[in-house]
Structure formats: structure tokens, C-alpha cells
Amino acid sequence: MTIDEAAVRQAIADAVGSERLQVLRVTGESGTAVIDAGGLDGAARARLEQAAKDAARAAGLADLRVALTAEKRSRRILAVGSGKGGVGKSTLSANLAVAMVRLGRKVGLVDADIYGPSQPRLLATEGRKPEARDKTMIPVQSPWGVPMLSMGHLVQPGQAIAWRGPMAGSALGQLIEGDWGDTEILVVDLPPGTGDIQLTMLQKYKPAGAVIVSTPQDLALIDATRAIGLFDQGKVPVLGIVENMAGYLCPHCGQVSDPFGHGGAEVTAKELGLPFLGRVPLDIAIRQKSDAGEPPAAGEGPQAQAFMAIARAVLAALDQPA
Ligand code: ADP
């Protein structure tokens, strides 16, 4: 019996998705297929292979050998860093992830800020425990469409974490190597500063890009410049700088003041030849919503718009061919 190769191709494409079927070769009654399994976990890969084989058999092929490729096809790490703590790095990471989901991307979040993990609070997953399958952690689903893993899920809230370098590194590795499924962009909220953990992480996991958060005052900007040096050393492209806590709108008198100065991050970005990705005002609603586990980026109004605009700028930079 002659095999209709086009019919086999169509059957497999229907079963696994035509964008995944890369190569099909039919010789006699058997064939070989190369199928892109990018972004799928172990169980989904096995299902994909079985679906291809079943479809081939139904189309008359006695035997199909399947090669699955590109285990981590398109997952990219976006590192969010800062020169020091308290500038809003975690707030930006959470809201960037939520905003990118709103823009139609599949985004996960790793809270690598192992000394002060705040993402479970920010994204309303406090008290949840990630399960593990074959020693691989399964991310916790937040109500905002962002799967996430944080050291905060593994220790009691308020419990001091006295990690030493190597332990911290391997703990971080477990989070990043979790079962991220079809996540395309993994936002990593780095610990503040420019220590060994950060550098090792950058070298090992090779983020596709980094965003630096700073407040507008000079001292913070000097630290931010140091953080940029760290990424340069780790050969991670810095996509740009975000200015946080600029322009305070007084809820009582309606006056805008600039407790940390204004525009400093934009000037610094220009001096360093880096893009300026946007500005988030100092706004009590941002702190209140964040503390309540309701990321402002998920809502409406000016706060959400600020984060959405930054997310668009970050995605445009990230998607640019190198
Ligand atoms: P980092 O991760 O850099 O240590 P956080 O994101 O934890 O900083 O922010 C520190 C504190 O400042 C938090 O209480 C947070 O809610 C608050 N915060 C961050 N950005 C803003 C902002 N734009 N307006 C008001 N409060 C903010």
C-alpha cells in the first residue's frame, strides 16, 4: 500500500499543531518526524509524541519515530535589579509581570530576593506551598495570571533566612529551574546590590535582558550605575532604567513635590547611553494596593497606565533582534 505523505503530514499537523511539526520524512511504511516541544513540561511532551504517533497510524503509517526538539525554545529571563534595597524593585517586578500578561504574554515570576522575599504578599500567594514533581518545583498560580516561585513560599513569614553563598545559589537555581511549562518570559526579581549571588546567577542563567530600577536621587543613581556594571560584567544586555518614586502628589493639598528629586534616572540613562523605560510616581495608592496583594498594574487608572507603558517599552526592547 502506498502511503499518502501529504495526508500523514496533515494528520500529524492537526494533532500537534502545524507550527510544531518541523520535519516529516516518510520511507515505505514508516516515517520520522521532528517536532518542536518548546515550552512544554515532561508530561505534555509525552502526550505530544503520543498524539503524533496515533495520528500517523490512523493515516496509514505503520511506524513513526519522533524526535522532540528545543526543550526551552523561547523562554527568556528578564532580570530586574537595583543597586540597593527599598527603591521599588519588587513592586516593579510584580507589576511588570502582570502588565505583560495583560499584553498577551505568558509570564512567570521568580522572587530571587531571597533575603526579603515580598512577591507572595505582592501577588496574593502568601501561605501557599509549591508542590514538587520529580524534585522539580511546580510554580504557584497567582490570581493575576502570573505563575510564581519565591523563597517566601518555602519559609515561614518573618523567619530569618541566613543563607550563605552556595546555599543561596542552589536555592535560587531550584526556583529558576522550576516546571515553568509554556511560560515565555520569566521575570526574575533579583536581590538588591551587586554581590556574588547576583553575578553567579547572571552567568549561569544568562538573562536575555535586565531592567534597572532607581529612585531619582543622586545616591541611588550611583548605586544603580554599579548595578549596571554588574550586568555588563555578566554580559547581560541592560534594556534600560526605570525611575520609581518620582513626583509625590499630596493627597491633602494636591501639590506635586519631588522628595527624591525628579528626572535623575532619565539623565543618568542618557549619560550611560541606555534607554529610559519610564517613570512611576510616588503614590500612596501603589503602596496600599501592593500591600493588599492587588498589583496596581491589574487595575485601571494612572498607576496601571504607568506600569503598562513601561511593560510595552521593556517588551519592545526584549523582542528586538540582538
Ligand atoms: P525593593 O524591592 O527595591 O526593596 P519594594 O518594591 O519592596 O522595594 O518597595 C519598598 C516599599 O516602597 C514598599 O512598601 C512598596 O510598597 C513601596 N513603593 C514602591 N514603589 C512605590 C511607589 N511608586 N509609590 C509608593 N510606594 C512605593
Q: For residue range 140-150, what is the model confidence (pLDDT) as tens digits?
A: 999 999 999 99
Averaged pLDDT of the chain? 88
Tell me if 11 sits within 8 A of 23, measured CB to CB: no
From the CA of 84, give the closest atom in ligand 1.
Answer: 3
Buried b (16+ CB within 10 A) or exposed e, 116-151: ebbbbbbbbbeeeebeeeeeebbbbebebbbbbbbb
Q: How far is the CA of 287 from the centre of ligand 1 (A)?
A: 6
Q: Calculate ∠ Cα 96-97-99, nearest 5°.
A: 65
Most informative mutation of 89, 91, 188, 250 for ligand 1 (most atoms within 8 A of CB): 91
> Is the distance from the beta carbon of residue 303 to the nearest atom of ligand 1 less than 6 Å?
no
pTM: 0.78
Q: Is 118 in the pocket of ligand 1 (CB under 6 A)?
A: yes
Task: Provide CB contacts within 8 A for 153, sequence distance 6+.
Answer: 120, 125, 128, 129, 130, 140
- Tell me which range, 24-38, 87-101, 131-145, is most confidently predicted by mean pLDDT: 87-101
| pLDDT for position 56 | 96
User: Percentage of residues in the chain with pLDDT exceeding 70?
Assistant: 93
Position 299 scores a pLDDT of 96
Give residue-wise pLDDT tens across range 7-21: 999 999 999 988 888
CATH class, domain 5-69, is alpha beta
β-sheet bridge partners, residue 141: 147
DSSP string, 221-258: HHHHHHHHHHHHHTT--EEEEEEEEEEEE-TTT--EE-
Supply the residue whose CA is at minimum distance from atom 4 of ligand 1. Answer: 86
Domain map of the chain by residue range? 5-69, 76-319
What pLDDT is attached to residue 72?
A: 47
Q: Longest Cα pair distance anywhere in the chain, in angstroms?
A: 85
> Which tens digit of pLDDT belongs to each residue from 164-197?
666 777 788 889 999 998 899 999 999 888 887 7
CA of 33 to the centre of ligand 1 (A): 50
d(CA 23, CA 12): 11
Q: What is the pLDDT of residue 64?
A: 95
Asked whether 317 and 209 are in contact (CB, 8 A), the reply is yes
DSSP percent split of the chain into helix, strand, coil, nearest 5: 40, 25, 40
**Superfamily the domain 76-319 falls into:** P-loop containing nucleotide triphosphate hydrolases (3.40.50.300)
Burial annotation 195-231 (CB, 10 A radius, 16+ → b, else e): eebbebbbeebebbbbbbbbbbbeebbebbbebbebb
pLDDT tens digit string along 53-98?
Answer: 999 999 999 999 999 886 544 689 999 999 888 999 999 999 999 9
pLDDT tens, position by position, 197-243? 788 888 888 899 999 999 988 767 888 888 898 999 888 999 999 99
Question: How many other CB atoms are there within 10 angstroms of residue 272's CB atom?
Answer: 16
Residue-wise pLDDT for 152-171, tens only, equals 888 776 665 666 666 777 78
Question: Residue 179: helix, strand or coil by DSSP?
Answer: coil
